Structure 1
Amino acid sequence: MNDDRYTVISADCHAGADLLDYKPYLEKRHHDDFDAWAATYVNPHEDLLADCADRNWNSERRLAELEADGIVAEVIFPNTIPPFFPSGSLMTQPADPEDFARRWAGLRAHNRWLADFCAAAPGRRAGVFQILLGDVEEAVKEIRRAASAGLKGGLMLPGTPPGSGLPELYSRTYDPIWAACAELGVPVNHHAGSASPPLGEEPAACAVFMVETTWFSHRALWHLVFGGAFRRHPELRLVLTEQGSGWIPGVLDMLDYYHGRLVAAGTKADTAEARFGAGLAAGMGATPSRAWRENCFVGASFMRPHEVPLRDRIGVDRIMWGSDFPHDEGTFPYTREALRFACAGVPRAELAAMLGGNAARVYGFDLALLDPVAAKVGPRVAEIDEPLTEPPADATSPVFARGASVRVW
């Protein structure tokens, strides 16, 4: 942070190559298959067909628009469709081994493209790379390769929803992944929407998705906690992004309750609950709330007014604000207004940590490089401290939605 401006790092942005631009990043043996796939592929996402779609891959436009919005650096999650995928879903494993191998090739192509995209703006981008969970050995190889290529955003962890055919995230099957991430200092990111099962095309499907999607994403927290991943790999860091943050205090209280109850029951062999707690204390170690304080963070995308007063219970040092650029629900081009609407009155040091300092620490951004940029384009401290009572008329972010100041769990 400068004397009068905040250094803002968005912990949640999205990007990806235009469809045909992935081809040079594929091994040549996949080029014919790619041509055949691309010739018949119909993109299911309207925002990737619109005139603004190039915000995903146009480096100069992206830098200019983010700077105009007061943001000097970004953590980049995927957005466009990788080669050989029907959509962006990484969960369901294809039954055909050749299709599985092609999808791995597609993800590697995305990761290679992303490394080049980040290198086009040195120190300004931390790319989040992708893996599949169906082959842990290959996943570990890609973690090491992506980290060596400079993708500082870390790993995007797919979910294991019902029907995925994958072991649950608490399974020790994934220990080599946690071990590699802990060793290399690679954050494990779990983004909303990356764990929901398919819901079909009924009229209620979208509403049910909205109700359930964050819950399915939250599951990663209690799976890794109760599965003992943080006890076995104390350097492991989990980031839960675009899942809200207001739920965290209540869920930690609930998890601590079950932890205490089951650990106690596990010591009493004559009780009905004993079988539920057997071995739990030795397996997971500390309480869930302690695991949160030591190993976990929240990518608090478009943080809402009801969430900000909970920052002490969540942990000011655990919160990383995100704009969700270039999505419609993101704060662009009204990031300053969104911050005024939600964060006016927050002490300067606390807000500086949530807007950039914490993300710099987790993702390895150099504030000495970013602060001079922020001195020119960052939101002014006095400006953000002035409450905004009337949202912009054409704003689309949920920050400004009716009920945004009401607690929603």
Structure 2
Amino acid sequence: MSGPASAAGGAPRGSGGDPAGADRYTVVSADCHAGAELLDYRPYLAAAHHEEFDAWAASYVNPYEDLVADTADRNWNSARRLAELERDGIVAEVVFPNTIPPFFPSASLMAPAPSPGEFRRRWAGLRAHNRWLADFCAAAPGRRAGVFQILLNDVEEAVGEIRWAVAAGLTGGVLLPGTPPGSGLPELHSPVYDPIWAACADLGVPVNHHAGSASPPLGDEPAARAVFMVETTWFSHRALWHLVFGGAFHRHPGLRLVLTEQGSGWIPGVLDMLDYYHGRLVAAATRSATAEARFGAGLADSMGARPSRVWRDNCFVGASFMRPHEVPLRERIGLDKIMWGSDYPHDEGTYPYSREGLRIAYAGLPREEVAAMAGGNAARVYGFDLDLLDAIAAKVGPTVEEIAEPLGTPPADATSPAFARGGSVRVW
């Protein structure tokens, strides 16, 4: 895995490598969320959908308390959002969706893949969100990388939307939906999705896979909710081995995959496991007399390099609020791979205690490592201009001295799991 030198890329920007931000970090949150207020999506829909939208919106009941609370406008109030992020020490953000797009029964991240009869309406709804997002990002030039949405039911339509979004200035890349059991869609390893991988590689934008976007519906019983919490990150991890074993990176060497809000401590062990199966199956393919040979047939030619090499060359992790017990694994994960995120405006995010969230994870680490994980890596992956951001960070960013101080007792009213007891090797 990559070490500190490649992670820092020389002197750390915004943390001693640049005079304008000599004593402050330039923090880029690689995991934030936004969306329009429900009725504000209407102007972004084609006129042919307006009557249908009016009827749908009149009967829609939002199932999410945070989207009807008096703080819900954090999702769409650009001025409030900039002010709160700056108070939290954050100067730029990667913006994933959050509010309900038109014609969806629930959040688009977690809604099961639509049936053919629902595709037309849901596709119109996602395209409306993408157009709203382009305007929302344009309201804060250089400070928001918007992640646009597609559906996998029609690959040609998806590729057209990817090209539109990039031309419209959305630099966050595509949000890859999951293909959970029962979706009826081809699995992500299928070559049917090759035009999507090709478009993203050609246009230089990442493919993002966010936690929660690949879980099958489990019901609403208490046990089902608990099982969802246990399984949801695993279902999201599946995108990694589907694309690796499916050969997407072999056919498209410029393709980049970002796995966000799925933790990071699992990565070294999973890469070891994938390398093991890769080696075992490739070797078995040369022994045609064995029963296992059929599992490895064609694998080496189709997927190329071993999974750990693919990770090193093509993959990144939006680790969100990295836990202290994950930090010792940072060199095995790759210091140039890890991107911190606040998960704003979710109540499980670190706001308004992001400085404390950075301290709990990164206190005592070399400043060039903190600079890379807290902002430098995200700036590189999503194309942020560090000259622009360093100047803002020089006024609002957390100081190097502040983040170096270990956090004692977490804030009493903090709601983020980043501060949860038992989630760290440290004892409060």
**Alignment TM class, shorter chain as reference:** over 0.9
Q: Does 1:21 align with 2:45?
A: no
- Inter-partner Cα distance in structure 1 for 2:381 and 2:23: 24
1:402 maps to a residue whose letter is R
Task: Flag as ranges the 4+ runs of structure 1 deviating above 6 A.
Answer: none
For 1:94, the equivalent position in structure 2 comes to 114
- Per-residue CA deviations over 1:157-190 (Å, capped at 9, x if unaligned) read 0000101111000000100000000000111000
- Give the number of aligned pairs: 406
2:275 maps to a residue whose letter is D
- Inter-partner Cα distance in structure 2 for 1:345 and 1:386: 7
Q: 1:59 aligns with which of 71, 78, 96?
A: 78
- Post-superposition offset of 1:383: 0.6
Q: 2:144 aligns with which of 125, 132, 151?
A: 125
The answer to whether the 8 A contact 1:92-1:165 is kept is no
Aligned residue for 1:371, secondary structure, equals helix
- Inter-partner Cα distance in structure 2 for 1:273 and 1:241: 34
Q: 1:376 aligns with which of 382, 395, 402?
A: 395
- Inter-partner Cα distance in structure 1 for 2:417 and 2:71: 20
- Post-superposition offset of 1:339: 1.1
Q: Does 1:103 align with 2:122?
A: yes
For 2:404, the equivalent position in structure 1 comes to 385
Aligned residue for 1:379, secondary structure, equals coil
- Post-superposition offset of 1:93: 3.5
- Inter-partner Cα distance in structure 2 for 1:286 and 1:403: 38
- Post-superposition offset of 1:202: 2.0
Where relative contact order (Cα < 8 A, 6+ residues apart) is larger, the structure is 2
The answer to whether the 8 A contact 2:219-2:225 is kept is no
- Post-superposition offset of 1:124: 0.4
- Inter-partner Cα distance in structure 1 for 2:392 and 2:321: 22
For 1:295, the equivalent position in structure 2 comes to 314
Q: Does 1:158 align with 2:158?
A: no
Aligned-pair identity (%):
82
Alignment TM-score, normalising by the size of structure 2: 0.94
CA distance 1:210–1:57, change in 2 (3 Å): same
- Per-residue CA deviations over 1:230-256 (Å, capped at 9, x if unaligned) read 000000000000000000000000000
- Per-residue CA deviations over 1:277-322 (Å, capped at 9, x if unaligned) read 1110001000000000000000011111111111000000000100
The answer to whether the 8 A contact 1:6-1:378 is kept is yes
Q: 2:261 aligns with which of 226, 233, 242?
A: 242
Aligned residue for 1:75, secondary structure, equals strand
The 5-angstrom pairing of residues 268-283 of structure 1 reads 268-283=287-302
CA distance 1:214–1:26, change in 2 (3 Å): same
Q: 2:100 aligns with which of 81, 84, 87?
A: 81
- Inter-partner Cα distance in structure 1 for 2:116 and 2:392: 49
The 5-angstrom pairing of residues 355-366 of structure 1 reads 355-366=374-385
For 2:284, the equivalent position in structure 1 comes to 265
For 2:9, the equivalent position in structure 1 comes to none
Gaps of 5+ in 2: 1-13, 15-20
For 1:308, the equivalent position in structure 2 comes to 327
Alignment TM-score, normalising by the size of structure 1: 0.98
Q: Does 1:40 align with 2:73?
A: no
- Per-residue CA deviations over 1:123-148 (Å, capped at 9, x if unaligned) read 00000000000000000000000010
Aligned residue for 1:207, secondary structure, equals helix
For 1:187, the equivalent position in structure 2 comes to 206
For 1:345, the equivalent position in structure 2 comes to 364
- Inter-partner Cα distance in structure 2 for 1:192 and 1:65: 24
Q: 1:218 aligns with which of 216, 223, 237?
A: 237
The answer to whether the 8 A contact 1:336-1:384 is kept is yes
- Inter-partner Cα distance in structure 2 for 1:7 and 1:47: 29
- Post-superposition offset of 1:406: 4.6
Q: Does 1:173 align with 2:192?
A: yes
- Per-residue CA deviations over 1:173-215 (Å, capped at 9, x if unaligned) read 1000000000001110000000000001222011101100000
Aligned residue for 1:126, secondary structure, equals strand
- Post-superposition offset of 1:111: 0.2
Gaps of 5+ in 1: none
